[in-house]
Structure formats: structure tokens, C-alpha cells
A and B are shown apart, each in its own frame.
Chain A
């Protein structure tokens, strides 16, 4: 069973800053990794899938990279609406178990 860890737990930044979020898998997941954004009181929203593909309608300031066990979500220049919690997620090939990381909160400094 693959376990995901995320760092840091909290990132305190200002609008316009660059945000770099990390997700590490306990074993290789290839590029089968997704990132989600969640704001208070809302359901998560898909940002990135297959490690680096932006979902429909996601601004270009969001980018993903990585493969194997180490992945990064980068927000090139934070907008006020980007302050939220970000989760990575993957699925085992077999058994087909899904898992989320513990999340990184991006908060306003």
C-alpha cells in the first residue's frame, strides 16, 4: 500500500510569491499522481493529473512536475484566491487502492 507524504504542512506566503509544494510516495507511482485544491467549505477541485497535466480551466500559473516518488506542485505567482489546502493523490496498480496525502496549507503571511 503506497503512502503519500506532503511538505511543508503549512506554507506562509504573500500574494505574488512563488509556492513550491512537495509530495513524496513511499514507492514509485510513475507519473500517476494528481493534485487538488480545497477551499474552506468547498469540495476539492482537480488541478493537475498525470503529474504535469493541467485540468480543464486551471490557470497556467499552476504547474506540476516529477515522477517516481517525488513530485512538486508550483504556483508561479500566488493570487489571493490561491490560499487554500492542496492535496496530492494516487492509486496503486494492484490492489487498486486510492490514497491522498495529508495536505499542505498555503496561508497568507
Chain B
């Protein structure tokens, strides 16, 4: 059984940099790294995919935001970090990390609870 938990600041100021961490915990680690994405949801809006790190460390970014995003992981894959630069109030959202499922590596089978980030001066 795997759980994901997001952590990071609750509030950031405009123009600042946001760093979020997704901690992946497994009761019985399989030693098989799985792809993890960051996804956000502005209040009352739809889900927006931001970035993904594949099991082979390849990375993919939302084309509209890629100049501001960096995704990375530690060697064990137990922490996935998202860095977003030059924050704006429109970046206020709940940020989720989600892991893909075995056999369908485009499908998010496990989600964190989400962390609300407010961008305000």
C-alpha cells in the first residue's frame, strides 16, 4: 500500500519561488520507482496537470508553465519535489501529487490529500 503526502508553504508572496515536496511511503517497498505527477486545482476550477517525472527520470512539463517549473526526485524516489518560480496570485490552488499505476503508466491511481497554497502579498 502506498501513500503520498504533499508538504510546503501555505502562503507565498508574488514573485517568490514555491517549493513543494511529495513524500511517497510504501508499507512494502517494491524497489520499483513509479512515475509521479504534480497536478493543481484553483478554487472552483478543473484539474490542471503541471509536471511529471518518469521512472527513468525523464521529465515532462505543461507547455504553458514549463519555463517556471522544475520537477526532481531523490535517488530512492521517496520524495518528488516541484519548484515553481515567479508566483502570481493566479497560482493560488490546491497542489496534488499523484502516482501512476502499474500497467497503465499514464493513469493516476494514488493521490495525496493536496496542499493549499495561497499567493498573496
Contacts and interface: CB of A to CB of B under 8 A. Distances in A.
A6 B86 CA distance: 32
A34 B98 CA distance: 14
Interface stretch (A17-25, A41-49, A67-75): A41-49
Interface string B77-98: 0000000000000000000101
Nearest to B47: A100
Interface in A54-109: 55, 87, 89-91, 95-103
Contacts of B58: 96
Taking residues whose C-beta sits less than 8 angstroms from the other chain, chain B's interface range is: 20 to 34
A46 B52 contact: no
Contacts of A38: 47
B46 A103 contact: yes
A87 B60 contact: no
Interface of B: 37, 39, 46-49, 52, 54, 58, 60, 62-63, 96, 98, 101, 104, 106-109, 111-114
